[in-house]
Structures are given as C-alpha cells and as structure tokens.
Structure 1
Amino acid sequence: MRSVTAEYEAKALYTAGREAIVAEIFKMAEPVAKEKGISIEKVLLRAVKLPQLVAEAIERKLQAEQQAEQMKFILDKERQETDRKRIEAQGISDFQRIISQGITQSLLDWNGIEATEKLASSPNSKIVIIGNPKSGLPLILEGQK
C-alpha cells in the first residue's frame, strides 16, 4: 500500500485522485490474495492520517486552488459583461446613425411647430416666446397661476 501511495501526491488522498489510488491498490492486492485463497471484493481507503504539517500544507494548497478557480470565474464573468456592454453600445451607435440619417432640420422645425400648437391649445397657464435664435424652435416658459 505504501508503494502505491508513494507514487501519488499527498493531496490525491483528499481529492478525486483517491479513487485511482484505491483502484491501483486493489489491482496489486487481488492477485496476491488469490494465491492464498482470499477473495478481495473491494478496497476502502478511510481515515487517512498524514503528519499535521503535511495535512495543513495540502489544505492551504487546496484553498489556494479554489480561490484561483473563483478568480477565473469572476474574470470570465467580467469579460462576458464587457462583451455585452460593447454589443449594447454598438447597437445604440447603429440606432443613432440610422435615425440621424432620417432627421432633417425641416422635420425638427415641423415637430417644434406641432408641439407649440399643442401647448397653445392646452388649458395650462404658460408663456410661449416664438423664434428662439439658437435653435429656431419656440422657447416655452411656464406661467404662474
């Protein structure tokens, strides 16, 4: 048994490598036991006791590996979010480019006139100053009741 476990890293005793160790021990022990008339059905590896220093080192290494895996997951998630934002920004840019091709100054002026007509027919109290020199659209100020 020691010859088999010596071929593996100590952490294999605590991880999925444990099954490989058990299988190899079974493979080695079965022919020897058969020669003596003993049948081995299963090998169980329980209560592995390593020196405390070795066990602590393995535990620290396993924790570090888990933290590294967690960091990889976080980085992958952030990369996906970056890609999502890039795609969203490209979509917004395409939308603005397409819309801006159809918007003309005369369309903006017409929309301004329609808005002024709606405000003028509204029962709310307001002041409308027509002919804003900066944009050419009406400047609308709210009046007080």
Structure 2
Amino acid sequence: METINPNKFHPKRVAWMFSLVILIIIVLSFASSFWVVIGAGETGVKSLFGKVMDEELSSGFHLKNPLVRITKMNIRTSEYTMSIAQGEGKRYSADAITALTKEGLSVDLDITVLYHLLEEKASDVYRDLGLDYEESIIRPQIRSIIREVTANYNVKDIYSDKRQEVASDIEGKLKERMDPRGIALEEVLLRHVELPANLADSIQQKLQAEQESERYDFVLEKEQKEAERKRIEAEGQRDAQKIINESLTDRYLEY
C-alpha cells in the first residue's frame, strides 16, 4: 500500500494557491486605484481620458475616481544652470550662453536660475507645456532674455561693477514672461563672465588704473581737507590774539 507524504504538494493544491495569489494581487491593484498619496513637495494633476482637469491635489492622502489618472509634479525650488564647465550645468556638455555687449563684443555667461512651479497653475503647465517645461519654456526664455539684456551694457560693466545690476534686469524680465505661465522665478545668479583673454587683461589693467586714480583722489582730498583745517585753526588763533591785543588798555598794562 502506497504511503502518502503530507509534505508533498499536490498539483491541484499548488494551482489553487497560485490562483489565490494572483487574485489577491488583482484585488489590491484594483483597490489602490481608488486612492493616491501625494508626497511632500509635490502636487497631483488629474486627467480623465486625456482631458486635464482644473484641480490640483495637494500633498497627502486622497480618494479618487479609479478612472482618473494622477500625474505628480514637483513644486519644490528647482534650478536650471547653464555653465561653461562641462558636466556642471543641466546639460553635460559646456552650455554657457554667448551674447554680444553694447559694443558688439562677445562674452560667455554662466547663469543659474532658481524657480518653482506654482501649485495652483500646475494643471495649466501640464496641459500647455507637459512635464518637460524646462526645455520648452525655461531654457529658451533664459537664452533670449540674457542676449536682450546684455546688449544694453558695456563689457566692462558686465565684467565688473554692474554685474548684479545685469542679473537684476535679467530676473525682472524673466519674471514678466514666466509668472503668467505658472512658473515662479525666485532668483537669477550670474555666476561667471568669460571674456577673450586679451580683452580680460585689458579690462583688468583699466580697472587697476581706475582704482589707483581713485586712491590718489582720496589722498589728495584728505590733504586738502587737512590744509583747510590748519588754515582755519591759524585764522582762529590770529583772531583770538587780535581780540586780546585790542582789549589790553594802558590801565590794564599798568595794573
């Protein structure tokens, strides 16, 4: 008589267990379509049969229609860098912006733009620009506005004392164009200005000469003020002596 081994799986039992696991997976998958969790720093954009709905889901747990698709979008501060150095910017290759100054001279600019997606306009951004809005709107606007602003400044100003003013002008114009599209600009950092070597040396020499001239003017002004102080002091002493001499009468001298 054949002995039945209780540890041996029967084919029907294996098939039944496999079917049960598949059923559990299907049930869980179907159940999960009724809810969604939006993480911190994200917003959820709802779409139904390809039509984007004008309602965003904030971070947290949400119940939803199982037919509605939720696309998560980042609303944290992000950066877009275009750099001379390879591998430093958004693109791996050297990606600095070449622009012409007021004199028609060519300069390369390193720039970083800090921005974030406006949560209340995320559905508009997704509908109009998609998820790749950095390449479709941010990058082209940065390049266009930098060239527009740079053309209003002399190369020496961009390279030295007016660099922050240039960055502020770029920031203002970018805000005007990006805010209506649902992208909030936070800051523009003009990190580096690259000039042709001979031009950079010439500007450095000119700046040094201007600093020497300013130092000389300061010393000269200081000496002039000191001379004026001594003149006033001498006049005061002379006037005081004159008053004393006039007040001395013969009687006072006899006394």
TM-score (norm 2): 0.36
The alpha-carbon deviation at position 109 of structure 1 amounts to 9.5
Match status 1:20 vs 2:156: no
Q: Aligned to 2:225, what secondary structure does the other structure show?
A: helix
Question: Against the structure 1 CA distance between its residues 107 and 13, is the aligned structure 2 distance closer, same or farther, given a 3 Å change threshold?
Answer: same
The alpha-carbon deviation at position 65 of structure 1 amounts to 1.8
The residue correspondences of 1:88-127 to structure 2 (distance < 5 A) are 88-101=233-246
Question: Against the structure 1 CA distance between its residues 20 and 108, is the aligned structure 2 distance closer, same or farther, given a 3 Å change threshold?
Answer: same
Matched with 1:69 is: 214
Supply the distance in 2 between the matched residues of 1:103 and 1:29 (Cα, whole angstroms).
Answer: 80
Match status 1:82 vs 2:219: no
The alpha-carbon deviation at position 56 of structure 1 amounts to 1.4
Matched with 2:200 is: 55
Q: Letter of the aligned partner of 2:171 in structure 1?
A: F
Supply the distance in 2 between the matched residues of 1:14 and 1:96 (Cα, whole angstroms).
Answer: 59
Q: Letter of the aligned partner of 1:4 in structure 2?
A: V
**1:52-80 per-position Cα deviation (integer Å, ceiling 9, x unaligned):** 11111221221122122212211221121
Of structures 1 and 2, the one scoring higher in RCO (CA 8 A, sep 6+) is 2
From 129, 148, 153, the equivalent of 1:3 is: 148
Matched with 1:44 is: 189
Q: Aligned to 1:95, what secondary structure does the other structure show?
A: helix
Supply the distance in 2 between the matched residues of 1:38 and 1:106 (Cα, whole angstroms).
Answer: 93
Paired-residue identity, %: 42
When the two chains are superposed, the root-mean-square deviation of aligned CA atoms in Å is 3.2
The alpha-carbon deviation at position 91 of structure 1 amounts to 2.0
The alpha-carbon deviation at position 104 of structure 1 amounts to 7.7
The alpha-carbon deviation at position 49 of structure 1 amounts to 0.8
Count of residues in Structure 1 that have an aligned counterpart in Structure 2:
110
Q: Letter of the aligned partner of 2:197 in structure 1?
A: Q
Supply the distance in 1 between the matched residues of 2:202 and 2:176 (Cα, whole angstroms).
Answer: 36
Q: Letter of the aligned partner of 1:94 in structure 2?
A: D
Q: Aligned to 2:153, what secondary structure does the other structure show?
A: coil
Q: Aligned to 1:62, what secondary structure does the other structure show?
A: helix
The alpha-carbon deviation at position 10 of structure 1 amounts to 1.2
TM-score (norm 1): 0.58
Q: Letter of the aligned partner of 2:188 in structure 1?
A: V
Q: Letter of the aligned partner of 1:49 in structure 2?
A: E
Supply the distance in 2 between the matched residues of 1:82 and 1:51 (Cα, whole angstroms).
Answer: 46
Supply the distance in 2 between the matched residues of 1:28 and 1:105 (Cα, whole angstroms).
Answer: 84
Larger helix percent: 1
Structure 1 unmatched ranges of 5 or more: 111-145
